[in-house]
């Protein structure tokens, strides 16, 4: 009895410790980034910023965007970020195969406070950024 009680207590302690370490999992929001820009063959974009899932400002560690199907100029990336997190980020034009940085987004860091529901962030590469909650891909 005592041993089983101690085991249960240990298990509960482990579960609560794990919960405290991984609060992200509970309320992650899918944030879709869209960069509208054609690039030379062999190039692409990453989105990097100050959180580990965006490579902590290191393009080679950041997630690569994918071309929207049938498009040559809409790059897409969906990243799960914690709701409520404030993140600063920029797209970087890179060599597609190596993520070697070729050109950083011009201007101030972009930012988002991650909402509860999934959202799309539309970025104009030329620096006149507009961050909006909606335009669906279909309307771009
Ligand atoms: C990102 O940087 C901003 C400005 O320094 C800071 O307020 C924010 O908490 C940082 N976000 C993360 C996820 O570290
Ligand atoms: C976050 O971005 C908006 C533009 O989208 C800007 O007005 C604001 O100053 C930025 N916030 C910070 C702390 O840089
Ligand atoms: C989030 O999405 C749910 C389900 O679609 C909706 O009921 C709710 O109003 C949304 N919340 C916000 C803050 O937009
Ligand atoms: C940036 O690109 C958009 C869309 O191509 C265009 O409407 C806008 O005038 C451009 N802005 C600058 C400053 O070049």
> How large a percentage of the chain has pLDDT more than 70?
71
Which residues contact residue 120 at a Cβ distance below 8 angstroms, ignoring those fewer than 6 apart? Answer: 31, 32, 33, 34, 132, 133, 134, 135, 136, 137
In a domain, 85, yes or no: yes
Number of domains present in the structure of the chain:
1
Pocket test for ligand 4, best of 105, 128, 129 (most atoms within 8 A of CB): 128
Q: Check: CB of residue 19 under 8 Å from CB of residue 11.
A: no
In a domain, 56, yes or no: yes
Look at residue 1 and tell me if it is in a domain. no
What are the tokens at 45? 């974009």
Q: Is the CB of 126 under 6 A from ligand 4?
A: yes
Closest to 50 in 3D by CA, of 109, 132, 121, 126? 109
CATH code where residue 132 lies = 2.60.40.10
**Stretch 90-111: mean pLDDT, rounded?**
93
85 lines ligand 2 (CB under 6 A): no
Q: Is residue 8 part of a domain?
A: no
Residue 3 lies in a domain: no
Is 63 inside any structural domain? yes
Whether 2 is covered by a domain: the verdict is no
Mean pLDDT for 60-75 is 92
Tell me which residues have their CB closer than 6 angstroms to ligand 1: 50-51, 85-88
**Average pLDDT over all residues of the chain:** 79
pLDDT tier, 21 (very low <50, low <70, confident <90, very high otherwise): very low
How far apart are alpha carbons 54 and 47 in whole angstroms? 6
Residue of 34, 123, 126, 135 with the most ligand 4 atoms within 8 Å of its CB, for mutation: 126
Give nearest CA residue, ligand 2 atom 5: 131
Q: Which domain holds residue 59?
A: 26-139
Ligand 2 probe mutation, 108, 110, 122, 127, most atoms within 8 A of CB: 108
pTM score: 0.75
Phi, psi of 30 (to 5 degrees): -75, 120
Within a domain: 129: yes
């Amino acid at each position: 009895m005592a041993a089983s009680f101690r085991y249960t207590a240990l298990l509960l302690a482990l579960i609560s410790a794990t919960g405290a370490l991984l609060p992200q999992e509970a309320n992650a929001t899918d944030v879709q980034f869209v960069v509208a820009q054609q690039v030379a063959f062999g190039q692409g974009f990453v989105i990097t910023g100050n959180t580990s899932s965006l490579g902590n400002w290191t393009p080679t560690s950041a997630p690569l965007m994918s071309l929207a199907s049938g498009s040559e100029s809409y790059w897409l990336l969906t990243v799960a970020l914690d709701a409520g997190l404030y993140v600063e980020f920029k797209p970087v034009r890179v060599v597609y195969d190596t993520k070697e940085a070729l050109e950083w987004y011009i201007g101030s860091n972009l930012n988002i406070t991650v909402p509860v529901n999934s959202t799309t962030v539309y970025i104009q590469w030329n620096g006149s950024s507009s961050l909006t909650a909606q335009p669906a891909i279909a309307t771009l």
